């Protein structure tokens, strides 16, 4: 009977030690999973941003087919203005956000607004 009691106490001590080490490893695994999740989310955000820029570039290129090629800085400005317009910003807020004059914003957006209006007219016909 005494031996059984000693064996049970020894087994309980071993199980207690094992549970301690297992609990110590669990937060490390959770932290690694969390870091991986954050990394994936950042990568997805970066890819979505890049896709949005490419879509805007395609729309700009389609609108300007046959026109002169813009400088990269000018293309980036037009992309920013068009992106803000597509998000529902007014010309005044786009002007404040981009640092351009409101008339310049209106001039940059004019071809895109006209194209969108003509698509709506065709769709309603």
pLDDT over threshold 80, residue 95: yes
pTM of the complete model: 0.49
Separation of alpha carbons 59 and 92, rounded Å: 22
- What residues does each domain of the chain span? 30-69, 70-124
Mean pLDDT of 97-124: 77
pLDDT at residue number 58: 82
| b/e per residue 22-51 (b: at least 16 CB within 10 A) | eeeeeeeeeeeeeeeeeeeeeeeeeeeeee
Question: CB–CB of 81/94 below 8 Å?
Answer: yes
> Is 70-124 in CATH node 1.10.10?
yes
Mean pLDDT of 42-65: 87
Half-sphere exposure of 63 (CA within 13 A, CB side): 22
């Amino acid at each position: 009977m005494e031996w059984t009691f000693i064996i049970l106490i020894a087994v309980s001590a071993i199980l207690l030690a094992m549970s301690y080490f297992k609990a110590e490893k669990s937060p490390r695994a959770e932290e690694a999973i969390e870091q991986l999740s954050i990394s994936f989310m950042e990568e997805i955000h970066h890819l979505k941003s890049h896709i949005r820029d490419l879509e805007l570039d395609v729309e700009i290129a389609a609108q300007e087919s046959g026109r002169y090629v813009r400088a990269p800085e000018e293309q980036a400005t037009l992309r920013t203005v068009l992106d803000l317009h597509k998000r529902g910003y007014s010309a005044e807020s786009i002007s404040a956000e981009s640092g351009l004059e409101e008339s310049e914003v209106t001039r940059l957006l004019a071809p895109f607004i006209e194209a969108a209006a003509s698509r709506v007219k065709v769709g309603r016909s």
